[in-house]
Amino acid sequence: MNQNAEYSAVNDAVRGQFLRRTWAMITPYWRSEEKGRAWLLLAALIGLSLFSVAISVWINHWYKDFYNALEKKDTAAFWQLIGYFGAIAAVAILGAVYRLYLTQMLTIRWRAWLTEKHFARWLADKNYYQLEQGGYTDNPDQRISEDLNNFTSNTLGLGLGLLRNIVSLVSFSIILWGVSGSIEVFGFTIPGYMFWCALVYAGIGSWITHLIGRRLIGLSNQQQRFEADLRFSMVRVRENAESIALYNGVPNENQRLSARFGKVWRNFWDIMKVSKRLTFFTAGYEQIAIIFPFIVAAPRYFAGKIELGELMQINSAFGNVQGNFSWFISAYADLASWRATSDRLLSFHQAMSENEQRAPAIDVRPEGERLVVNDLGMDLADGRHLLTDADMTVEPGQRVMLSGRSGSGKSTLLRAMGHLWPAGHGSIRLPAARYLFLPQKPYLPIGTLKAALSYPQADSVYPPERYAQVLETCRLPHLVGRLDEANHWQRMLSPGEQQRLAFARALLFAPQWLYMDEATSAMDEEDEATLYQALIDELPGLSIVSVGHRSSLKRFHGRHVRIEGGRLQEQLVS
pLDDT in tens, 312-331: 777 777 777 777 777 777 77
- Mark 365-376 as b/e (b = at least 16 C-beta within 10 Å): eeeeeebbbeeb
CB of 135 within 8 A of CB of 1?
yes
Sign of the CA dihedral running 554, 556, 558, 560: negative
If asked whether residues 177 and 250 sit together in one domain, one would say yes
If asked whether residues 107 and 203 sit together in one domain, one would say yes
Distance CA 475, CA 486 (A): 21
Look at phi and psi of residue 391 and say left if phi exceeds 0, alpha if psi is from -120 to 50, else beta: beta
Choose one of 357, 388, 415: the last residue of a domain. 357
Which residues are bridge partners to 430 per DSSP? 366
Altogether, the residues listed in the chain come to a count of 574
The CATH number of the domain where 412 resides is what? Answer: 3.40.50.300
Choose one of 311, 331, 357: the last residue of a domain. 357
Q: Is the pLDDT of residue 290 over 80?
A: no
Condensed to tens digits (0 to 9), the pLDDT of residues 377-420 reads 888 776 778 888 888 999 999 999 998 888 888 888 888 898 88
Q: Is the pLDDT of residue 112 over 80?
A: yes
If asked whether residues 183 and 288 sit together in one domain, one would say yes
If asked whether residues 367 and 490 sit together in one domain, one would say yes
If asked whether residues 426 and 313 sit together in one domain, one would say no
If asked whether residues 236 and 295 sit together in one domain, one would say yes
Among 307-321, 424-438, 557-571, the range of highest mean pLDDT? 424-438
φ, ψ of residue 399 to 5 degrees: the values are -120, 110
Q: Which of 77, 57, 64 is nearest to 307 (CA)?
A: 64
CB of 492 within 8 A of CB of 500?
no
10 Å CB burial of residue 172 (0-12, 13-18, 19+) is buried
Q: How many CB atoms lie within 10 A of CB 488?
A: 14
Q: What is the pTM assigned to this prediction?
A: 0.71
If asked whether residues 371 and 346 sit together in one domain, one would say no
If asked whether residues 160 and 63 sit together in one domain, one would say yes
pLDDT band at 14 (very low <50, low <70, confident <90, very high): very low
Q: How many CA atoms lie within 13 A of 503 on its CB side?
A: 31
The CATH number of the domain where 106 resides is what? Answer: 1.20.1560.10
DSSP label at residue 550: -
CB of 409 within 8 A of CB of 385?
no
Mean pLDDT confidence for 118-124:
86
- What is the span of the domain harbouring residue 541? 363-571
Specify the number of domains making up the chain.
Answer: 2
If asked whether residues 375 and 414 sit together in one domain, one would say yes
Helix (H) or strand (E) holding 521: none
The amino acid that residue 66 corresponds to is F
Q: Is the pLDDT of residue 40 over 90?
A: yes
If asked whether residues 303 and 386 sit together in one domain, one would say no
- Please state at what angle helix 148-180 crosses helix 193-213, rounded to 10 degrees: 150
If asked whether residues 304 and 324 sit together in one domain, one would say yes
Condensed to tens digits (0 to 9), the pLDDT of residues 169-207 reads 777 777 777 766 666 666 676 776 777 777 777 778 878
If asked whether residues 292 and 402 sit together in one domain, one would say no
pLDDT band at 516 (very low <50, low <70, confident <90, very high): very high
Q: State the alpha helices, DSSP H only, in 487-563.
A: 489-492, 495-509, 525-538
At 17 the three-state DSSP class reads coil
Choose one of 357, 373, 393: the last residue of a domain. 357
Helix (H) or strand (E) holding 246: helix 241-247
